[in-house]
Structure 1
Amino acid sequence: MDELGARAAALVARRPVDARLRRVGASRAGTPLWLLSVGHGDRQALVVAGPHANEPVGGATVLRLAERLLADGAAGEGADVTWNLLLCLDPDGSRRNEGWLTGPYTLGTYFRNFFRPGFLEQPEWLPDGAASAALPETRALLALQDELRPFLQCSLHGVDVGGGFVELTRELPGLAQRVAHTAARLGVPRELGAYDCLYWPGLGPAVYRIPPPRPSGLVAAITEAAVESTWLHPHRHGTLTAVVEAPMWGVAAVADGSPPADRDAVLRAVSRALRHDTQLLRRLLDRVRPHLAAVPDAAVLLAPVDDYLLVCPELADAWDPDTGVARPLPPLTNAHLTALRIAGRRLALRTAGLLHRLVRAAGHDRAGVLPDLDRLVDQWCADYRENLQARWIPVARQAEFQTRVVLAACELAARRPSARSRSGEPDWGAPAIVPIPGE
């Protein structure tokens, strides 16, 4: 976090006419929320980095984006767009991930140092609506959205294991082609059956439509982003929001859109593994919990553990073809099945990693669980590496993928509707693949 702020300040010192840095709020711990603005255009674009604490690539992306805009002259006096780059929405949570940010970039290092707050402590969500937003980070973002009224908002996320994809609050013709082009150039697999978007409509390969919020329980809110959010809040201003997901460890199989040979057998195996792993983790938590009374921030680390152990059984039932759940699964490809397998294993690994942190924070392993947790983390990470062929994607490529997708989304969103279709919707014209600035 310190390096991110320092680099932004150095950029402004170098280009004070075209770049500005201002504080737009503070975190729960009092950490400033910094907005780097580049350009002088009348139209406003807002890019939000670091909404999820364990997804740090957005910080690298906003710096790369700012440098690209300044180098290409897209931020000069004649610029049509002012870019507003929020360096990090959750700086407190992001600091808790700094144990793995310097490497080595292995799955084991990542999950043993993983942190992501409980659902109700994540600043992008508005489970009780904007008027009841409790977190200062959330209120700062809402105020910024209402001040800027951006035509485009991009929220920068990172997929720990899987592929790249984009979620949109409304259709953006041409973006799927741009995503495909960028992914191919950079060797980033596209996630054609993203777990997050399992029930969402597709707008093209690896591009999904974010549905409006609906009444739902906590499980659906955690697993499907089914509640009101800061993605949808600025819709009243005509804002299009694009959630841009870049993978840290890529898995080629998430791009396999072919039909599965035996869908139900894979679903049964994934559900069975998730139930088994959940039982193991619950027993370990029961052994650990009595020894946490004096551990600093134990409640902060336990909140996501409880969230994950809450959702796991319901997800296992939702994916199991034999449980007869009310909500049927959509048609599934091999890409979907790979994404579900990754997601089930991810929930278990995150829980095990958080328990590992709790025991280390206690300074002693009175429950004697660290050998079991180490064995599980090693075993599950090996499954990612050996069976799913998960491979680290260098940070520069992660950030470049996001940068190019953001620039493409901005160009497409800035196009003026040339005519109205018979339905009354804008006719955006024929999409085209054009060079991305700086490519």
Structure 2
Amino acid sequence: MWRCALPPLLRYPTVDDLAAQAAALAARRPRDARLRRVGVSRAGTPLWLLSLGRGARQALVVAGPHANEPVGGATVLRLAERVLADPRLTEGADATWNLLLCLDPDGLRRNEGWLAGPYSLGRYFRNFFRPGFHEQPEWLPDGAAAAALPETRALLGLQDELKPFFQCSLHGVDVGGAFVELTRDLPGLSARVAHTAARLGIPRELGAYDTLYWPALGPAVYRIPPPRPRDLAAAITEAAVESTWYHPHRHGTVTAIVEAPMWGVSAVEDDSPPADRDAVLRAVSRALRHDTRLLERILTRVRPHFTGVPDAARLLAPVDDYLLVCPGLADAWDPDTADPARPLPPLSTAHLTALHIAGRRISVRTAGLLRQLVAGSGHDPCDALPELDGLIDGWCAAYLDDCGARWIPVARQVEYQARVVLAAFELAGRAGAAPARSGESGWGTRPAVPMHGE
């Protein structure tokens, strides 16, 4: 049975909660904890770094790179308590822990309508926000030298200053399961993930959509291929751009992306062969095409009424990104239209479940953003709200009824993520940082891969 010695977390922390709790911790332990501002967001919110210990080897943990994934903020607070309570993680490891409290505080503020709960899929998607591709600070579509966002530049500066032997980016999965992505192998991590997930009752994604074309290093642990440049449409659908995950690779850094689910789905752990793979793929593709046409019609109706409305562009950017990628995704998944030069890998039931969840995710996120646009304007000239509410309710019910999605308490999400981070830190420290091979930090030539989290 899962036990936690620290007080359980009942809700996700806000931007202000993170800053206040980190400041209180630094004031309580001034010898061991330092809080400093390492940049500001586009809206002027400070980016805070909490550093623990004074060892020579640097570890960097980044919370909140995606605005709708707040578990990382709670996890860094939990990690801070653990690190300060256990000298083996600092003096014993000759390490300093650097915890970036939130990389996208402006985006996190836009999600505060659901952060405190009560937690339901309908409440989450109606208040969901994630910026458009060009406003997500982990990505470097034009390379590090051309990074435009102040949040991105702050993170790049930290990476080059610290040259961490270990970097961890904390992410959340709204519906699905837990998995880890690595820029270098950490032998033994898959077994640690399996043990932790089993102890906490959290399903692992054995066929994660994000990693569909990536090599597996073990169950629910995947190797991130080196990036390569592509055009904008490909970059939105694929992690085919330089990212802050790979930027410190030149320093010998191993980067781990640790994903923790909010609503778990047991079928993402089913690695059995499907009874009729092609029939499921056709159904998933057909549903995505249908949903896309439906949402495009709604967008066409409402867009003219919100030209020049403050904040409309910020909500419409991710809507346009989602609708741009849907036709290509549906064609790539459909066995009747898939590109023979880029065939799908062997697919288990877990893979098909993940694709079903991913297709529906794009649709319900788009509907939620459109609903916010209309509801926030105070008028609904096209009578779109009832239609959008019906779509959101129906798609959320399908997640619950068809996929068996179940809420995982915040404290358990955080405990899982913190334990996996600590395991990866330990294994990275044992292995030491292997120097980058000649050309390894440059553009790769691996197959294109699905975009992380979209």
TM class by shorter chain equals over 0.9
The one of 185, 189, 192 equivalent to 2:203 is: 189
Q: Distance in 2 between matches of 1:49 and 1:215?
A: 26
Give yes or no for contact 1:40–1:75 (8 Å, CA) kept in 2: no
Residue 447 of structure 2 corresponds to none
> Match of 1:389, SS?
coil
Q: Distance in 1 between matches of 2:326 and 2:47?
A: 34
Residue 204 of structure 1 corresponds to 218
Give yes or no for contact 2:229–2:242 (8 Å, CA) kept in 1: no
Residue 61 of structure 2 corresponds to 47
Give yes or no for contact 2:253–2:433 (8 Å, CA) kept in 1: no
Q: Distance in 1 between matches of 2:423 and 2:288?
A: 38
Residue 244 of structure 2 corresponds to 230
Runs of 4+ in 1 over 6 A off after TM superposition: none
Give yes or no for contact 1:196–1:223 (8 Å, CA) kept in 2: no
The 5 Å alignment of 1:28-427 reads 28-74=42-88, 80-325=94-339, 326-416=341-431
Aligned-pair CA distance for 1:84? 0.1
Give the aligned residue type for 2:104: D
CA displacement 1:247-294 (0-9 Å, x = unmatched)? 000000000001000000000000000000000000000111011124
The 1:335–1:418 alpha-carbon spacing in structure 2 relative to 1, beyond 3 Å, is closer
Q: Distance in 2 between matches of 1:165 and 1:25?
A: 30
Question: Relative CO higher for 1 or 2, CA cutoff 8 Å, sep ≥ 6?
Answer: 2
Q: Distance in 2 between matches of 1:240 and 1:378?
A: 41
Give the aligned residue type for 1:403: A
Q: Distance in 2 between matches of 1:167 and 1:418?
A: 17
Aligned-pair CA distance for 1:215? 3.0
Give yes or no for contact 1:40–1:78 (8 Å, CA) kept in 2: no
Tell me the TM-score normalized by structure 2. 0.91
The 1:21–1:70 alpha-carbon spacing in structure 2 relative to 1, beyond 3 Å, is same
> Match of 1:20, SS?
strand
Aligned-pair CA distance for 1:70? 1.2
The 1:344–1:418 alpha-carbon spacing in structure 2 relative to 1, beyond 3 Å, is closer
Q: May I ask how many residue pairs the two structures share in their alignment?
A: 420
Q: Distance in 2 between matches of 1:18 and 1:76?
A: 10
Q: Distance in 2 between matches of 1:402 and 1:418?
A: 22
Aligned-pair CA distance for 1:78? 5.4
Give the root-mean-square deviation of aligned CA atoms. Answer: 1.5
Give yes or no for contact 1:281–1:352 (8 Å, CA) kept in 2: yes
Q: Distance in 2 between matches of 1:10 and 1:417?
A: 33
Tell me, yes or no, if structure 1 residue 16 matches structure 2 residue 30.
yes
Unaligned runs of 5+ in 2: 1-14, 435-454
The 1:389–1:416 alpha-carbon spacing in structure 2 relative to 1, beyond 3 Å, is closer
Give yes or no for contact 1:39–1:74 (8 Å, CA) kept in 2: no
Give the aligned residue type for 1:135: L
Residue 10 of structure 2 corresponds to none
The 1:417–1:49 alpha-carbon spacing in structure 2 relative to 1, beyond 3 Å, is closer
Give yes or no for contact 2:90–2:97 (8 Å, CA) kept in 1: no
Give the aligned residue type for 1:409: A
Residue 422 of structure 1 corresponds to none
CA displacement 1:384-432 (0-9 Å, x = unmatched)? 001100001111111111100110001000114699xxxxxxxxxxxxx
Give yes or no for contact 2:203–2:268 (8 Å, CA) kept in 1: yes
Give yes or no for contact 2:76–2:99 (8 Å, CA) kept in 1: yes
Give the aligned residue type for 2:107: G
Give yes or no for contact 2:83–2:89 (8 Å, CA) kept in 1: yes
Aligned-pair CA distance for 1:32? 0.3
Unaligned runs of 5+ in 1: 420-439
> Match of 1:203, SS?
strand
Q: Distance in 1 between matches of 2:223 and 2:64?
A: 22
Aligned-pair CA distance for 1:77? 5.3
The 1:69–1:324 alpha-carbon spacing in structure 2 relative to 1, beyond 3 Å, is closer
Q: Distance in 2 between matches of 1:27 and 1:417?
A: 34
Aligned-pair CA distance for 1:218? 2.9
Give the aligned residue type for 1:411: E
Aligned-pair CA distance for 1:205? 0.2
The 1:143–1:30 alpha-carbon spacing in structure 2 relative to 1, beyond 3 Å, is same
Q: Distance in 1 between matches of 2:92 and 2:149?
A: 38
Give the aligned residue type for 1:83: W
> Match of 1:241, SS?
strand
